Amino acid sequence: MLDLVTFLDKMAIAQVTVVGHDWGGALVWNLAQFHPERVRAVASLNTPLFPVDPNTNPMEKIMAIPIFDYQIYFQKPGVAEAELEKNLERTFKLMFISSSDKDGFPKLTTTGVCQRGGLFVGSPDDPPRSSMLSVSALQYYTEQYSKSGFRGPLNWYRNVERNWRWMISRPRAKIMMPALMVTAGKDPVLLPVFATGMENLVPNLSRGHIEECGHWTQMERPAELNKILISWLKETHQKASISVHPKL
């Protein structure tokens, strides 16, 4: 989040409209909450704004939700890295599966990961490639992660408690700028029900929902998502007298 603020400062950008997915969604909610002067509008795909509870360590909440068990598995440095980096092509084929992929596609489950000893334990060695993951995208991910590995991304999960301590040390206010929450009906982890009651913290919240969509919303249902985003952007920015010219 502070990196984003620094980037805006370096680029001399006073305010932005931000859109995030998954961890990016958590990042843009936090930016809007703790640096509201830099955010004109905020949108998140799949990831709701989880209220910050100063009285409960977030790791306790994570351990109480079975579908978040993979986050517990990710905590010990080196363990998940070894599994995910062993066969990068297999890793991304198993990660990027859409809700419409049926016969022949493994169903990756995030419950019981610690007990079975790994996220991919029991998955095929050579899984099929989902149609939403192009050959060129698969090659790009494989090339990039062969250089960087998974330590950086996994450290997001290992920094949950530190981030929580930082957030509870600062004043927390409602997010008052225009906001959009897009939920996906078939996301097996970021369930739409998690976004219930967000209006209590985000009064100017608009909602979008794509029922036949899994976790990778922007990859699985790009046309439907773009329709929701562009409609919201037009409405939001026209109210602020800012022109919108989508090139899609």
Q: What is the pLDDT of residues 158-174, one digit of tens each?
A: 999 999 999 999 988 89
Residue-wise pLDDT for 128-149, tens only, equals: 999 999 999 999 999 999 999 9
Q: Which pLDDT value is given to residue 202?
A: 98
Task: Look at residues 161, 187, 203 and tell me which one is the last residue of a structural domain.
Answer: 161
Q: Is 145 designated active site? A: no
Residues 218 and 140 in one domain: no
Q: Would 166 be classed as within a structural domain?
A: no
Mean pLDDT of 5-17: 95
Residues 153 and 199 in one domain: no
| CATH code for the domain in which residue 208 is found | 3.40.50.1820
Residues 141 and 88 in one domain: yes
Q: Where are the alpha helices (DSSP H) in the chain?
A: 2-10, 23-34, 58-63, 69-73, 79-86, 88-95, 113-116, 135-148, 151-158, 160-168, 217-220, 222-239
- pLDDT of residue 242 exceeding 70: no
Q: Which pLDDT value is given to residue 247?
A: 55
Mean pLDDT of 6-15: 95
- How many C-beta neighbours within 10 Å does residue 245 have? 5
- Mean residue pLDDT across the chain: 94
- pLDDT of residue 44 exceeding 90: yes
pTM confidence score: 0.92
Q: Which pLDDT value is given to residue 79?
A: 98
Q: Would 232 be classed as within a structural domain?
A: yes
Cα–Cα distance, 57 to 55 (Å, whole number): 7
- How many C-beta neighbours within 10 Å does residue 83 have? 16
Range of the domain at 15: 2-52+172-239
Mean pLDDT of 46-63: 96
Task: Look at residues 131, 161, 191 and tell me which one is the last residue of a structural domain.
Answer: 161
Active-site annotation holder among 35, 145, 157, 237: 157
Percent of the chain residues topping a pLDDT of 90: 90
* Residue 128: partners with Cβ closer than 8 Å, 6 or more residues away: 93, 101, 104, 105
Active-site annotation holder among 22, 69, 101, 187: 22
Q: Which residues pair with 16 in a beta bridge?
A: 39
Domain count, the chain: 2
Amino acid found at 161? E
- pLDDT of residue 246 exceeding 60: no
Active-site annotation holder among 70, 73, 187, 215: 215
Beginning with the edge strand found earlier in the chain, give each strand of the sheet holding 179-184 in spatial order: 16-21, 39-45, 179-184, 205-210
Q: Which pLDDT value is given to residue 240?
A: 67
Q: Is 70 designated active site? A: no
Q: Which pLDDT value is given to residue 241?
A: 64
Residue-wise pLDDT for 171-223, tens only, equals: 888 999 999 999 999 999 999 999 999 999 999 999 999 999 999 999 999 99
Cα–Cα distance, 183 to 191 (Å, whole number): 8
- pLDDT of residue 248 exceeding 90: no
Q: Is 22 designated active site? A: yes
